[in-house]
Structure 1
Amino acid sequence: MKLTDKKRKNILDAAVQEFREQGFPAARVNRIADLAEVSKRTLYKHFASKELLFAAITDILLEEIAAMPKLRYRPDARLREQLIGAVRAYVGHLTGEQYMGLNRLVMSELLRDQELAQAFFAKAAMQDGPISGLIGEAMQAGALREAEPGFAAGQLLSMVKHFLVWPRFLMGADTEVDPDAVIADCTDMFLAHYLPER
Structure 2
Amino acid sequence: MNQTSGNKTRLTDRKRAAIMEAAVSEWKHQGYDNTSMDRIAEVASVSKRTVYNHFPSKEELFAAIVAELMSRCQIMKEFDFDPKKSISSQLTAIGKTAVELMTSTEFQDLARVTLSRFLQSPEIASEMLIETTQVEAELAVWFKTTHEAGQLRVPDPTLAAKQFLGLIQSFAFWPPLIGKEPPLTTPQKKAVVKSTVSMFLDHYKPSNL
TM range, normalised to the smaller chain? 0.7 to 0.9
Q: Mind listing any 5+ residue stretches in structure 1 that lack a counterpart?
A: none
Q: Mind listing any 5+ residue stretches in structure 2 that lack a counterpart?
A: 1-6
**Matched position secondary structure for 2:170:** helix
Residues 99, 189 of structure 2: 8 Å contact kept: no
Match of 1:47?
Answer: 55
Q: Does 1:167 align with 2:143?
A: no
Change in Cα spacing, 1:173 to 1:131, as seen in structure 2 (3 Å) is same
Normalised to the residue count of structure 1, the TM-score between the two structures is 0.80
Normalised to the residue count of structure 2, the TM-score between the two structures is 0.77
Which residue type is aligned with residue 154 of structure 1? K
Q: How far 1:35 sits from its partner (Å)?
A: 2.2
Which residue type is aligned with residue 173 of structure 1? P
How many positions carry a matched residue from both structures? 198
**1:38-77 paired onto structure 2 within 5 Å:** 38-67=46-75, 70-77=78-85
- The share of aligned pairs that are identical, in percent, is 33
**Matched position secondary structure for 2:117:** helix
| 1:98-142 per-position Cα deviation (integer Å, ceiling 9, x unaligned) | 222222222222244333212332244345777445434323433
Q: How far 1:94 sits from its partner (Å)?
A: 1.3
Which residue type is aligned with residue 193 of structure 2? I
**Matched position secondary structure for 1:72:** coil
CA RMSD of aligned residues (A): 3.0
Match of 2:3?
Answer: none
Residues 70, 133 of structure 1: 8 Å contact kept: no
| 1:31-89 per-position Cα deviation (integer Å, ceiling 9, x unaligned) | 11222233333322222221111111011111112135724222233212321232123
Residues 87, 131 of structure 1: 8 Å contact kept: no
Change in Cα spacing, 1:4 to 1:170, as seen in structure 2 (3 Å) is same
Match of 1:93?
Answer: 101
Which residue type is aligned with residue 59 of structure 2? E
Change in Cα spacing, 1:122 to 1:179, as seen in structure 2 (3 Å) is closer
Match of 2:45?
Answer: 37
Which residue type is aligned with residue 183 of structure 1? V
Report the Cα distance in structure 1 between the residues aligned to 2:134 and 2:168, rounded to whole angstroms.
22
Report the Cα distance in structure 2 between the residues aligned to 1:16 and 1:165, rounded to whole angstroms.
18
Report the Cα distance in structure 2 between the residues aligned to 1:69 and 1:126, rounded to whole angstroms.
8
Change in Cα spacing, 1:15 to 1:145, as seen in structure 2 (3 Å) is same
Report the Cα distance in structure 2 between the residues aligned to 1:124 and 1:164, rounded to whole angstroms.
16
Shift >6 Å, 4+ stretches: none
Match of 2:199?
Answer: 189
